[in-house]
Amino acid sequence: MKILVINCGSSSLKYKLFDMNNDSVLAEGKVERIGEKDGIITHQTVGKEKVSQIKPMPEHSAAISECLRLLTDAQVGAIQDLSEIKGIGHRVLHGGEYFKQSTLVDDTALHQMEELRELGPLHMPANILGIRSCRTLMPGTPQAAVFDTAFHSTMPKHAFLYAIPYELYQRYRIRRYGFHGTSHNYIALRVAQLMKADPKDLKIISCHLGNGASLAAIDGGKSVDTSMGFTPLEGLMMGTRSGDIDPSALEYVMEKEQVPMANIINMLNKHSGLYGIADAGDMRDIVKGVEEQKPMHMLAYDMYEYRIRKYIGAYIAAMNGVDAIAFTAGIGENTPSLRAKICDNLSYFGVAINHEINQQRGEFELSTPESKIKVYVVPTDEEIMIARDTLKLISENNNKQEKR
Ligand code: AMP
């Protein structure tokens, strides 16, 4: 059975077509600069030539239409007819308190997602547009929504509530939601496989360090805490996001600089983090700067590492123990020096790594046999999780209908 996974961002879209008989990728691609007159499309079917085109891409439905055309193209496509695609899985940023797991999309689900728009103003409109466009372009093909927040819906109330008047939670659902849930879930399952253990028996700290970054404390296969909050702004220092900050400092800046809250939030999201300190938001540039002993790059690197380590310590306390720590995403997978610095500074907990093995790429264990806590690098795969959830929901729905 073939499942298409679509991840719609505000001005870009990524897609992957899976053959779920063996979880293999048949084709993948992306469309960038949606909304501009020169959209860039790259597409590759496995075993065929990679194609790249520049075309006007006024909005998301034009982008999805182009993906579907490429997937069925006689030369570069992966399938002959769109009817071969039995389901479409969409990555959706925010499930709020409505969606504690993935769901098949119907009118009610779409309506609820519309209500959650304002909780994710940067991503939700594009996520919803993607779903609506597929409904128009492929009517009758089941679609599933897989939420970045859903995996964290198991957090206990004492972890997800902010210590502000409780009425604000009751009235507006102000709370920690957490993000990167699909990735953290994948990491927890994969670490359990690598440890040949049942996820139910493990305490894991998953470190998703990409352009956005979050940690999750996963106890018995369930998220019990995570560093992102009501929005993806809270928690770790990120590429361009500040992470934790005292809100009073923001009021102070607003008054001193005479700027509105919207500017402050924009500054926290886009001009802070590594970029705010070192004028470089990409960890590759930071690492290069550290090698060249540039003071602000060294400071940004130290701040980035320190915040991760502080959260790891907090999550060991939150779970009263940890069996494994796993690093993933662009920075987590590709920055051995950062992993080494974090792990070497956790020696009190009995963490010990093999520095030579730590230089490897791909999936591997870097802890030594003596280490009290296992440490892994696990390349994340959010798309296969979305495809699996989509397949599961479709099969369950088919079974339900057969029974009727
Ligand atoms: P992601 O959001 O998971 O795609 O991660 C993107 C980030 O990963 C980039 O902004 C870089 O900071 C970082 N990154 C990607 N490749 C490398 C690399 N080879 N070495 C260090 N950092 C990298």
Task: Report if residue 37 sits inside a domain.
Answer: yes
Asked if pLDDT for residue 213 goes beyond 90, the answer is yes
Residues 260 and 330 in one domain: yes
Specify the ligand 1 atom closest to the Cα of 282.
12
Residues 141 and 205 in one domain: no
Asked if pLDDT for residue 190 goes beyond 90, the answer is yes
Q: Which of 131, 147, 163 is the last residue of a domain?
A: 147
Task: Report if residue 269 sits inside a domain.
Answer: yes
Residues 120 and 243 in one domain: no
Task: Report if residue 270 sits inside a domain.
Answer: yes
Q: Exactly one of 148, 225, 323, 381 is catalytic; which is it?
A: 148
Q: Which pLDDT score, from 0 to 100, does residue 89 have?
A: 98
Q: Which pLDDT score, from 0 to 100, does residue 404 have?
A: 79
For 21, the domain range is 2-147
Instruction: Identify which of 285, 334, 341, 380 to mutate to test ligand 1's pocket (most ligand atoms within 8 A of the CB).
Output: 334
- Structural contact between residues 239 and 282, judged by C-beta atoms closer than 8 angstroms: yes
Q: How many domains does the chain have?
A: 2
Task: Report if residue 395 sits inside a domain.
Answer: no
Specify the ligand 1 atom closest to the Cα of 380.
3
Residues 222 and 323 in one domain: yes
Q: Is the CB of 354 under 6 A from ligand 1?
A: no
pLDDT tens per residue across span 116-142: 999 998 899 999 999 999 999 999 999
Which residue's alpha carbon is nearest to atom 14 within ligand 1?
330
Q: Is the CB of 210 under 6 A from ligand 1?
A: yes
Task: Report if residue 157 sits inside a domain.
Answer: no
- Structural contact between residues 36 and 60, judged by C-beta atoms closer than 8 angstroms: no
Residues 202 and 58 in one domain: no
Residues 328 and 220 in one domain: yes
Query: What value does the mean pLDDT take over residues 302-307?
Result: 98
Task: Report if residue 152 sits inside a domain.
Answer: no
d(CA 31, CA 49): 17
Q: Which pLDDT score, from 0 to 100, does residue 255 have?
A: 97
Task: Report if residue 209 sits inside a domain.
Answer: yes
Residues 128 and 208 in one domain: no
- Structural contact between residues 5 and 146, judged by C-beta atoms closer than 8 angstroms: no
Query: What value does the mean pLDDT take over residues 227-253?
Result: 97
Asked if pLDDT for residue 278 goes beyond 90, the answer is yes
Residues 227 and 299 in one domain: yes
Residues 224 and 299 in one domain: yes
| Strand 2-8, strand 85-92: pairing | parallel
Residues 209 and 338 in one domain: yes
Residues 232 and 339 in one domain: yes
Q: Which of 112, 147, 182 is the last residue of a domain?
A: 147
Which residue's alpha carbon is nearest to atom 18 within ligand 1?
334
Other CB atoms within 10 Å distance of the CB of residue 166: 11
Q: Which pLDDT score, from 0 to 100, does residue 245 have?
A: 98
Residue 265's SS3 state is helix
pLDDT tens per residue across span 308-360: 999 999 999 999 999 999 999 999 999 999 999 999 999 999 999 999 999 99
Specify the ligand 1 atom closest to the Cα of 283.
12
Q: Percentage of residues in the chain with pLDDT exceeding 70?
A: 100
How many whole angstroms from 191 Cα to the centroid of ligand 1? 21
Asked if pLDDT for residue 403 goes beyond 90, the answer is no
Q: Is the CB of 57 under 6 A from ligand 1?
A: no
d(CA 24, CA 384): 9
Q: pLDDT tier at 144 (50, 70, 90 boundaries)? A: very high
Considering only CA atoms, which of 102, 97, 153, 105 is closest in space to residue 128? Answer: 105
Q: CATH number for the domain including 135?
A: 3.30.420.40
Backbone angles phi, psi at 4, to 5 degrees: -100, 130
Task: Report if residue 183 sits inside a domain.
Answer: no
pLDDT tens per residue across span 6-63: 999 888 999 999 999 999 999 999 999 998 888 999 999 999 999 999 998 888 999 9
Residues 74 and 220 in one domain: no
Burial of 169 (0-12, 13-18, 19+ CB in 10 A): middle
Instruction: Identify which of 30, 282, 304, 359 to mutate to test ligand 1's pocket (most ligand atoms within 8 A of the CB).
Output: 282
> Which residues, including other chains, have CB under 8 Å from residue 97's CB and lie 6 or more apart?
153, 173
Which residue's alpha carbon is nearest to atom 19 within ligand 1?
334
> Which residues, including other chains, have CB under 8 Å from residue 142's CB and lie 6 or more apart?
86, 87, 88, 104, 105, 390, 393, 394, 397
Asked if pLDDT for residue 237 goes beyond 90, the answer is yes
Q: Which of 88, 120, 147 is the last residue of a domain?
A: 147
Question: Has 148 been annotated as catalytic?
Answer: yes
